[in-house]
Amino acid sequence: MTWEVLSMIGTIAFAISGAIVAMEEEYDILGVYILGIVTAFGGGAVRNVLIGVPVSILWQQQTLFFIAFIAMTIVYLFPQKTLPHWQRWGNFFDALGLSAFAIQGALYAAQMNRPLSAVIVAAVLTGSGGGMIRDILAGRKPLVLRDEIYAAWAILAGIAVGTGIADSPVGLYGLFVIVAALRILSYTYNWKLPNKSLKAGN
- Per-residue pLDDT tens over the stretch 13-45: 899 999 999 999 999 999 999 999 999 999 999
Question: What is the Cα–Cα distance from 39 to 27, expressed in whole angstroms?
Answer: 15
Q: How confident is the model at residue 192 (pLDDT cuts 50, 70, 90)?
A: confident
Q: Is residue 26 part of a domain?
A: yes
Q: Name the amino acid, one letter, at 63.
A: T
Q: What is the mean pLDDT of residues 78-101?
A: 89
Q: Report the percent of the chain where pLDDT is more than 90.
A: 58
Structural domain for 178, as ranges: 3-75+90-188
Query: How far apart are the C-alpha atoms of 46 and 32, rounded to whole Å?
Result: 21
How many of the other CB atoms lie within 10 Å of CB of 184?
A: 16
> What type of residue sits at position 72?
M
Q: Does the pLDDT of residue 47 top 80, yes or no?
A: yes
- Specify the higher pLDDT residue, 143 or 16: 16
Q: What does the pLDDT read at residue 22?
A: 94
Residue 76 is predicted with a pLDDT of 95
- Whether residue 93 contacts residue 9, with contact meaning beta carbons closer than 8 Å, is answered with yes
pLDDT at residue 95 greater than cutoff 80: yes
Q: What is the pLDDT of residues 173-190, one digit of tens each?
A: 999 999 999 999 998 998
Let me know if residue 140 belongs to a domain. yes
For residue 147, what pLDDT is reported?
A: 64
**pLDDT, tens digit, for every residue of 161-172?**
999 998 888 999
Report which of residues 143 and 37 the model is more confident about: 37
CA distances from 63 to 117, 124, 149 (A): 31, 24, 31
| Rg of the chain in Å (alpha carbons) | 17
The answer to whether residue 85 is domain-embedded is: no
- Asked if residue 200 has pLDDT above 70, the reply is no
Q: Is residue 179 part of a domain?
A: yes
For residue 17, the Cα-to-chain-centroid distance in whole angstroms is: 10
**Structural domain includes residue 84:** no
182 neighbors 152 (Cβ within 8 angstroms): no
| 10 part of a folded domain | yes
Tell me whether residue 181 is in a domain.
yes
- 1/83: higher pLDDT: 83
CA–CA dist 56, 48 (Å, integer): 9
Say if pTM beats, i.e. exceeds, 0.85.
yes
> Would you say residue 120 lies in a domain?
yes
Tally the domains of the chain: 1
In sequence order, which ranges of the chain are alpha helices (DSSP H)? Answer: 3-24, 29-51, 62-77, 79-111, 116-124, 130-137, 151-162, 169-188
